[in-house]
């Protein structure tokens, strides 16, 4: 297992480099440029735009820009040198660099956000807890409801429970997320006033800095419900089909012939082997926690990574865009690796080699 994980991580390195090349090429080919974003204003002269372009290095060939973005240019961009040829340090002991100097994404430096003037990675890292909170709870609810519903629908095949759950799964898959979110906001937020209209915290939190558990739960109910409906629909339908295939196996009939209880037969022997296809879609579901919650985060004003990345695209905040792409790429690689590991945990007969 350890050798397999280590080998997969090594194989992920060229994959990640390929993603960086492709994503950087797409951003470079996109209309507009950083100078047009940073120097937007009637008082900006042409000379200032030329100077800014020189500082950013966008006049260099694309391959030089990519290398500088990848490994940085701080090793050749010392602001001043002392008499001995060593770089001058500030009062805190840090080396002073020229404007526009980067350490490169390999050292975690994606540049400075054009909008917030903060490091791009810091902008996203501050949004990760909100995204994990929303997406993680939605995924847990999807698994906690979808798996038992799928098993029971397979056990009671053709019955009223099976028919209702299949219809509801199709409905949840067909209903647009934005429509469902707005409908729930209208009913439970505007008309009934039972739940807040959006946000992660109540308004007074930003004044007092205090929030109760009840208030946190109230702000989570609607966005988690909207985001988890898709997971429940997918997991229940897939679990039903997989369980129907497992129930026809000989070992299930043997377990029933031995007099085991139905709950033990269906939810222990059958469900464990039926979960192998579930492990397959858990890989894409993990990066989906980051990128798939865009509509939900926008409707409910949830301060997550997806909403931040979408805003960065609208404002042409290139450093934040590239940091978002790399973050989602890493989550995708880790997600598929976890899927392979789950195969071996669910079915010991599977050996990773």
CATH of domain 128-303: 1.10.3720.10
CA distance 49 to 24: 22
Could you tell me the pLDDT band of residue 49, with boundaries at 50, 70 and 90?
low
Q: What backbone phi and psi angles, to 5 degrees, belong to 112?
A: -105, 135
275 touches 242 (CB < 8 A): yes
Q: Provide mean pLDDT across the span 218-244.
A: 88
Structure tokens belonging to residue 261? 């209880």
DSSP state for residue 78 in the 8-state scheme: B
Q: List Cα–Cα distances, 308 to 104, 192, 211, 247, 294, in angstroms.
A: 22, 30, 24, 46, 9
Could you tell me the pLDDT band of residue 79, with boundaries at 50, 70 and 90?
very low
CA distance 185 to 64: 49
For the chain, domain boundaries: 2-125, 128-303
CA distance 15 to 11: 7
Does this model's pTM top 0.85?
no
Condensed to tens digits (0 to 9), the pLDDT of residues 308-328 reads 888 888 887 888 888 888 888
Condensed to tens digits (0 to 9), the pLDDT of residues 136-154 reads 888 898 888 988 898 888 8
């Amino acid at each position: 297992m350890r050798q397999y994980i280590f080998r997969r991580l090594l194989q992920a390195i060229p994959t990640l480099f390929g993603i960086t090349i492709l994503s950087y090429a797409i951003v470079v080919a996109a209309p507009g440029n950083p100078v047009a974003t940073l120097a937007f204003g009637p008082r900006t002269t042409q000379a200032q735009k030329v100077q800014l372009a020189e500082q950013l290095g966008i006049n260099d060939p694309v391959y030089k820009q990519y290398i500088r973005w990848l490994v940085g240019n701080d090793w050749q961009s010392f602001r001043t040198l002392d008499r001995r040829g060593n770089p001058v340090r500030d009062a805190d002991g840090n080396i002073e660099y020229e404007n526009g100097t980067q350490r490169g994404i390999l050292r975690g430096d994606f540049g400075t956000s054009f909008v917030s003037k903060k490091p791009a990675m810091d902008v996203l890292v501050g949004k990760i807890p909100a995204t994990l909170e929303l997406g993680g709870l939605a995924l847990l609810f999807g698994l906690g409801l979808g798996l038992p519903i799928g098993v029971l629908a397979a056990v009671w095949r053709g019955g009223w429970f099976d028919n209702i759950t299949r219809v509801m799964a199709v409905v949840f898959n067909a209903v647009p997320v934005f429509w469902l979110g707005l409908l729930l906001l209208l009913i439970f937020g505007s008309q009934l006033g039972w739940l807040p209209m959006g946000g992660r915290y109540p308004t007074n939190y930003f004044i007092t800095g205090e929030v109760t558990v009840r208030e946190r739960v109230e702000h989570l109910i609607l966005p988690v419900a909207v985001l988890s409906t898709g997971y429940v629909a997918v997991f229940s339908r897939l679990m039903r089909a997989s369980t129907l295939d497992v129930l026809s196996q000989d070992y299930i009939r043997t377990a029933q012939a031995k007099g085991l209880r139905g709950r033990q037969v269906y939810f222990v022997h059958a469900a464990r082997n039926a979960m192998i296809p579930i492990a397959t879609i858990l890989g894409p579901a993990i990066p989906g926690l980051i990128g798939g919650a865009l509509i939900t985060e926008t409707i409910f004003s949830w301060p997550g990574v997806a909403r931040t990345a979408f805003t960065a695209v609208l404002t042409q905040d290139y450093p934040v865009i590239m940091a978002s792409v790399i973050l989602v790429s890493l989550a995708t690689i880790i997600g598929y690796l976890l899927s392979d590991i789950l195969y071996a945990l669910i079915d010991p007969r599977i050996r990773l080699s």
